[in-house]
Amino acid sequence: ILVMAKTKAALVGLMEQFEKGSVEKTYWAVTETCPPKEADTLTHWLTKDPQGRKAVVSEKESRGSQQCRLDYKVLEKRGKSCLLEIKPHTGRFHQIRAQLAFIGHPIKGDVLYGGSPWREHQIMLHARHLQCKHPKTGAAIEVDCPPGEAWRATF
């Protein structure tokens, strides 16, 4: 899902919504293994590795870390894998990928965070839904993005 603005004023209005955390985002992810709970809230602290290409997760705050939080629920199980619905409360760098890997359930295909290779370097993380307000009128904007062919073949 890509959000664009036609005017600078609209861009500023949208950016403010993202910064305040008022944009609701829903993702789907297929994990290598299923988490022990059907639903949970994960709260951790993130920093970037020295090269800046990977998020490092900790259970404790440290210098330069940012808190990250997400809710997940299991939508479906298939073999060892699970289809999760994820709603991040914060929008940190690689947050979903890093948090799921940290609890021992990396996303399928996410080699950077411990997942097994899958279909031509694809990772099974999908932006499913976004909800925000029109920056000028305040009207609700909802965008749904159905999963593609690779998803339908897997789940």
With respect to residue 3, please indicate whether it lies within any of the assigned structural domains: no
The phi-psi region of residue 21 (left if phi > 0; otherwise alpha if psi is between -120 and 50; otherwise beta) is left
The mean pLDDT value for 47-54 works out to 90
The mean pLDDT value for 125-132 works out to 96
Nearest to 101 by CA among 111, 85, 88, 113: 113
With respect to residue 56, please indicate whether it lies within any of the assigned structural domains: yes
pTM of the model: 0.91
The mean pLDDT value for 105-116 works out to 94
Q: What is the pLDDT of residues 54-95, one digit of tens each?
A: 999 999 999 999 999 999 999 999 999 999 999 999 989 999
- Give me the CATH number covering residue 92: 3.30.2350.10
Q: Look at the chain and report how many structural domains it folds into.
A: 1
With respect to residue 1, please indicate whether it lies within any of the assigned structural domains: no
Q: What angle do CA 139, 26, 58 make, to 5 degrees?
A: 125
With respect to residue 2, please indicate whether it lies within any of the assigned structural domains: no
The pLDDT value recorded for residue 119 is 75
Is pLDDT of 4 > 80?
Answer: yes
Q: State which residues form the domain around 113.
A: 8-154
CB of 31 closer than 8 Å to CB of 100? yes
Is pLDDT of 120 > 90?
Answer: no
12, 22, 102, 126 from 123: Cα distances, Å? 31, 27, 17, 9
